[in-house]
Amino acid sequence: MGLLSLLRRLKKSGGEARILILGLDNAGKTTILRKLSEEDITTTTPTQGFNIKSILHNGFKLNVWDIGGQKTIRPYWRNYYENTEALIYVVDAADRKRVDEAGFELAEILGEDKLATVPLLVFANKSDLITALSADDVAESLSLFNIKDRPWQIQACSAKKGDGLEEGLQWVVKQVK
Amino acid sequence: MNMRDAETGEMMWEKHAWPSAWRSEEVEARIPADVMNRAAVSREMTFSSAAAIDDFRLRQRVYLGEHCIEEWDFDFGFVIPGSVNTWQTTIESAGEGAMLDPTQISGLVCIETSFLDGDVVFNKSVVRVYYEQYD
């Protein structure tokens, strides 16, 4: 189960859609992307740029962009907002010290004109760790309940184990017109 | 560059180091013929850029002899200075019976990749594909 089978069930033909994955460094963005294609995740290293997956099915092209989350790279995020149809924001739910930082960056992103009204999925990742915050707590910390200008959803997941990824992705794909 | 079975994630072929002449000369890739039996295959390229690029685009054409059998045009837009980036494309097979025989097309398939900034081609690579049988 992954992106390809999701796309096969979508019965779309023709066209193109762009999904953008953002989040702090070490949140698990690349691991999620790799896991969604059943790829080996043990060799994942910090992304120093972008990783793109383009999947073609029935003439419909899905492009998923994962941009590095290190502090030095974040100023470049804005270069990748255009034409985004869904945003996935990944939070390390077990890194309690950085949840505020994650919330600050998300608020910045949601204030961008180019991403106005773009549907948002938040993955509360690493939920398998006992120190992890619940999805509700993450939603609270990120002030998701105040979002009024777009559809949003939060999904607890473990990128490492694969739990919750499919549920989240299904929601995202439904938002893509 | 690497190739995987896109359904199982299994790495089928991987090449890390390219000859220094990859920009100017055709290079060879020897790929297991078994890729032709898979329902979906992904092909991934890793590239780095020391400088920022404003409007980076790739044009990829896969040729069988003279005929273009696969086309990918991709607009990356901005490339971060000092970055390492990957681009993976996944395609599904034409289905049983519609697939080409790897022994017949070995050496006839070329992946031509043009690297552009805006409309200016600043690099081009040609990889000739040989399909090899492993027991």
Query: Is residue B31 included in any domain, yes or no?
Result: yes
**From the list B48, B78, B92, which residue is nearest A57 (CB)?**
B92
Query: Is residue B104 included in any domain, yes or no?
Result: yes
Among A114, A3, A123, A116, residue whose Cα is nearest residue A61:
A3
Number of domains observed in the structure of chain B:
1
**Which two tokens mark B14?**
């991987």
Identify the domain containing residue B99 by its residue range. Answer: 2-16+26-132
Question: Residue A103, annotated ligand binder?
Answer: no
pLDDT reported for residue B135: 62
A175 noted as active-site residue: no
- Mean pLDDT across A9-25: 89
- Mean pLDDT across A95-100: 96
- Mean pLDDT across A99-115: 97
pLDDT in tens, B56-87: 999 999 999 999 998 889 999 999 999 999 99
**Whole-number Å distance between alpha carbons of A88 and A159:** 13
Give chain B positions within 8 Å (CB) of A74: none
For the domain that residue B118 is a member of, what is the CATH number?
Answer: 2.70.50.40
Q: Which fold has domain A3-175?
A: Rossmann fold (3.40.50)
**Whole-number Å distance between alpha carbons of A133 and A136:** 8
Query: Is residue B21 included in any domain, yes or no?
Result: no
pLDDT over 70 at A84, yes or no: yes
**From the list B11, B82, B88, which residue is nearest A53 (CB)?**
B88
Which residue did the predictor score with more confidence, A24 or A12? A24
- Mean pLDDT across A11-18: 84
Query: Which residues is A56 bridged to in the sheet?
Result: A61
Query: Is residue B103 included in any domain, yes or no?
Result: yes
Question: Residue A27, annotated ligand binder?
Answer: yes
CA B118 remoteness from chain centre: 21
A56 touches chain B (CB under 8 A): yes
User: What's the ipTM?
Assistant: 0.92
Residue B41 and residue B35 in contact, taking contact as beta carbons nearer than 8 Å: yes
pLDDT reported for residue A162: 94
Query: Is residue B73 included in any domain, yes or no?
Result: yes
Residues 6 or more apart from A61 whose CB is under 8 A from it? A15, A16, A17, A54, A55
**Whole-number Å distance between alpha carbons of A141 and A166:** 24
Whole-number mean pLDDT of chain A?
94
Question: Residue A2, annotated ligand binder?
Answer: no
Distances (CA, A) of A94 to A131, A162, B18, B98, B122: 5, 16, 40, 49, 45
User: What are the mean pLDDT values of chain B's consecutive 10-residue runs (135 residues total)?
Assistant: 93 83 81 92 92 95 93 93 95 80 91 93 92 82
Distances (CA, A) of B24 to B19, B21, B114: 10, 6, 12
Query: Is residue B105 included in any domain, yes or no?
Result: yes
